[in-house]
């Protein structure tokens, strides 16, 4: 299934994409795509519904983030060897973990906004997933049982905040709009091989990134098992898995994002998203 959240920010409703590509409202089955409602029992109830009897959503509403209010938004750093090379970093011996603020997430086609004082805004096309079943000290073999679905994430980054100031990466990864996710949450049964999906990203129509999940240093099952050694993963928690080469940081000279740029990215079977970069708006 392809599950979505649609409507104005803060008022999104859950839906699914039918065979004609239309949105069907599923709020009679689950109130939202969040937390425990992403668990196996609720996903099975959605799958058992007669799609043609579900209310058809009129028009072409805004798509919100495909997961609501994650408790954790965890990211994996330097998880493609070509990206590690372009940044001058060594290939890590084990997954590098950092956090993105959960309230950095936004819809897949929402604007990306410069934070105040930003000078080095960058993009990162990634495959992400959401936990559907509590995971603590799980094995790699059992990891798939804990995943509710997969989706696209743009791990938007402010490189000066991330690298050139003291402290951890989190501050360069967590501004509002730094986590466009979606358009869809795709359940595992729809994906033949999550370890062999092409991903790409364009800026103003020019290809910047082109990669494949087969080149992940640490695969998704490894990530679930590894992270669950250090924290309990709850339903609704998001993990985004790292980006291939082609980010602005790795270019000479870097082509940092600027206001007015349009970023488009996609992954096989997971759709695509398009965001416009806009100037800082705030007090």
Please check whether residue 39 lies inside any domain of the structure.
Answer: no
pLDDT of residue 85: 86
Please check whether residue 73 lies inside any domain of the structure.
Answer: yes
Where are any strands of DSSP class E within the chain? 2-6, 13-17, 23-25, 73-77, 96-99, 105-106, 112-113, 121-122, 125-131, 147-154, 157-158, 179-180, 185-186, 198-203, 206-212, 238-240, 262-267, 271-278
pLDDT of residue 81: 87
Pairing relationship of beta strands 125-131 and 147-154 according to DSSP bridges: antiparallel
Beta-carbon contacts of 29 under 8 Å, excluding residues fewer than 6 positions away, are 14, 42, 45, 46, 49
Backbone angles phi, psi at 3, to 5 degrees: -105, 145
Residues linked to residue 277 through DSSP beta bridges, in sequence order: 112
CATH value at residue 227: 3.90.850.10
pLDDT of residue 89: 81
Q: Which residue segment(s) compose the domain that 154 sits in?
A: 64-278
Where are any strands of DSSP class E within 68-134? 73-77, 96-99, 105-106, 112-113, 121-122, 125-131
Q: What is the pLDDT of residues 48-70, one digit of tens each?
A: 999 999 999 999 999 999 999 99
The CA–CA distances, whole Å, from 143 to 101, 204, 251 equal 24, 38, 36
Please check whether residue 150 lies inside any domain of the structure.
Answer: yes
Domains contained in the chain, number:
1
pLDDT of residue 283: 64
Length of the chain: 283
pLDDT of residue 84: 82
Please check whether residue 127 lies inside any domain of the structure.
Answer: yes
Please check whether residue 111 lies inside any domain of the structure.
Answer: yes
Low-confidence ranges of the chain (pLDDT < 50): none
Residue 78 · residue 96 · CB < 8 Å: yes
Please check whether residue 53 lies inside any domain of the structure.
Answer: no
Please check whether residue 105 lies inside any domain of the structure.
Answer: yes
CA–CA gap between residue 197 and residue 190 (Å, rounded)? 13
Please check whether residue 226 lies inside any domain of the structure.
Answer: yes
Pairing relationship of beta strands 121-122 and 157-158 according to DSSP bridges: antiparallel
Closest CA to 181 of 61, 273, 243, 276: 273
Residues linked to residue 201 through DSSP beta bridges, in sequence order: 209, 265
């Amino acid at each position: 299934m392809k599950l979505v959240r649609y409507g104005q920010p803060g008022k999104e409703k859950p839906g699914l994409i039918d065979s004609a590509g239309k949105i069907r409202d599923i709020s009679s089955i689950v109130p939202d795509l969040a937390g425990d409602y992403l668990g196996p029992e609720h996903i099975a109830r959605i799958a058992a519904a007669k799609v043609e009897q579900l209310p058809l959503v009129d028009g072409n509403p805004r798509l919100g983030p495909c997961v609501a209010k994650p408790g954790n938004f965890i990211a994996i750093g330097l998880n493609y060897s070509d990206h590690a090379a372009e940044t001058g970093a060594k290939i890590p011996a084990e997954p590098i973990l950092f956090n993105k603020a959960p309230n950095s997430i936004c819809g897949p086609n929402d604007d990306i906004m410069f934070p105040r004082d930003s000078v080095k805004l960058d993009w990162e096309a990634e495959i992400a997933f959401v936990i559907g079943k509590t995971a603590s000290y799980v094995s790699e073999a059992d990891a798939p049982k804990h995943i509710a679905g997969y989706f696209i994430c743009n791990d938007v980054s402010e490189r000066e905040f991330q690298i050139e100031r003291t402290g951890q990466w989190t501050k360069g990864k967590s501004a509002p709009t730094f986590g466009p996710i979606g358009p869809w949450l795709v359940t595992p049964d729809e994906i033949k091989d999550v370890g062999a999906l092409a991903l790409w990203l364009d800026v103003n129509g020019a290809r910047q990134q082109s990669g494949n999940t087969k080149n992940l240093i640490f695969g998704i099952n490894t990530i679930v098992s590894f992270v669950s050694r250090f924290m309990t993963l709850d339903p609704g928690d998001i993990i985004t898995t790292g980006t291939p080469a082609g980010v602005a940081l790795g270019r000479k000279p870097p082509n940092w994002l600027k206001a007015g740029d349009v970023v488009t990215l996609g992954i096989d079977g997971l759709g695509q998203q398009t965001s416009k970069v806009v100037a800082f708006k705030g007090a």
